[in-house]
Amino acid sequence: MSDLPDDRTVISRRKPYGDRVFATNLPAGDPREYLLGRQLQHFRLDEYIGGGGMGMVFRGTDLELGREVAVKLLVRGPHTDDDMVARFRQEAQSAARLNHKNIAQAYYVGEDDGWNFIAFEFVAGDNIRDIVERKGPLSVRRAVETIMQIATALEHAHGQGVIHRDIKPSNIVITPDGQAKLVDMGLARLDPVDAVKEDLTSSGMALGTFDYISPEQGRDPRSADIRSDIYSLGCTLFFALCGRPPSDTSADLYPSSRTAIKRLLSHRDDLPEELIPIIKRMLRRKPRQRFDSMADVAQALAPLSKRMGVDVNYPGLLRARERSRRSEASWNTDAKPTMTTVPAEPQPSVDSQDEDWLNSLAAAQAEALNRNETEEAAAVDEPPDAREQLAEIYRRHRQHS
């Protein structure tokens, strides 16, 4: 790609101008202090924002365009190799394909004497984790509105073949005007399988993530798919409403959805009745028992959102539904459909799509959710030994935290 001073993502390996940073000859001490104020190509690192595991994030300045950016660096360490660097750049290019108002845009990908970095849109606001820690759980309306926005953003990402793999409260920023933005697209793909296990209690690389990843992703990060993101988004919604993840205070890393809902209801007595089965379905242990797509999640929330006065993008939901139906064969052929989210008859036009369509959609959702409740009651849970190793790691983490 060419170096053009606009909002298109640029991929570059050119040498920097100004102060150079040599990642292989860092002085002893905290690398954040060494990097602060330095320049990677035409990006100045102004303030350390956060990070963990394999990455660091700085608020920076694009010196060519004079705008604020978020600069994310891949930190070389004992588990970093050339393959991981290649995957970092590949994921950056995947993020560059995404163009959605609820996803932080990737501007530039580069390398400066050993530092691989991505410059993203800087999103002003607070992430859900910080908001909840400071002010307490979100209102039902704000939580549903936020999850609706992120679900549509992830539907767009999934349509481009990008699985997030690291959805959690700290990766969703709410701007001052109430817009939700998903950040850190794809960076979770960098976690090497062995490093996750080794670094869990020492470096804290996966501590936050482990409360939000799905059972199948916990067993094998490479197995994560769309439904894994749905599970993580369900955990994030749970946290937004409760102030803690579903696994909090539990000896089991993956409590049953029934247990999680009981815990949620013990903290909130103002939850709409129709919201409970939606959360429960997102938190199923088995992928085939969850929603099939983020479009299905958004459509399940649409009737409730409308009643609460949340702006629902009906044209977007309809388009997402059609895309989801066309790609239904992407899952295992032996996995039977578990949810019907819309009425079978043709939909009315967007102009006339008001109470009639909304009530029809709500009825279809209720029928499908009730049917799935019956199926789940007869289902046998996965053998506990399938999660034994991860559960033991998780229990050790709880004992030391």
For the annotated catalytic residues, the residue numbers are 166
Q: Token match 């004497």: residue?
A: 113
Using the CB atoms, write b or e for 214-223: b if 16+ within 10 Å: bbbbbeebee
In angstroms, rounded to a whole number, what is the distance separating the alpha carbons of residues 121 and 8?
11
Which residue type, as a one-letter code, is found at position 157?
A
Q: What angle do CA 297, 301, 307 make, to 5 degrees?
A: 170
Torsion of CA 134, 136, 139, 143, to 10 degrees: 70
Tokens encoding 173: 């920023």
Burial 346-363 (b: 16+ CB within 10 A, else e): ebeeeeebeeebbebbbe
Is the Cα dihedral 139, 142, 147, 150 positive or negative? negative
Do you know the residue count of the chain?
401
Strands (E) across 53-100 are located at 55-62, 67-74
Distance CA 8, CA 303 (A): 37
Question: Which of 120, 236, 137, 234 is closest to 183 using CA atoms?
Answer: 120
3-state secondary structure of 109: strand
Cβ proximity of 287 and 228 under 8 Å: yes
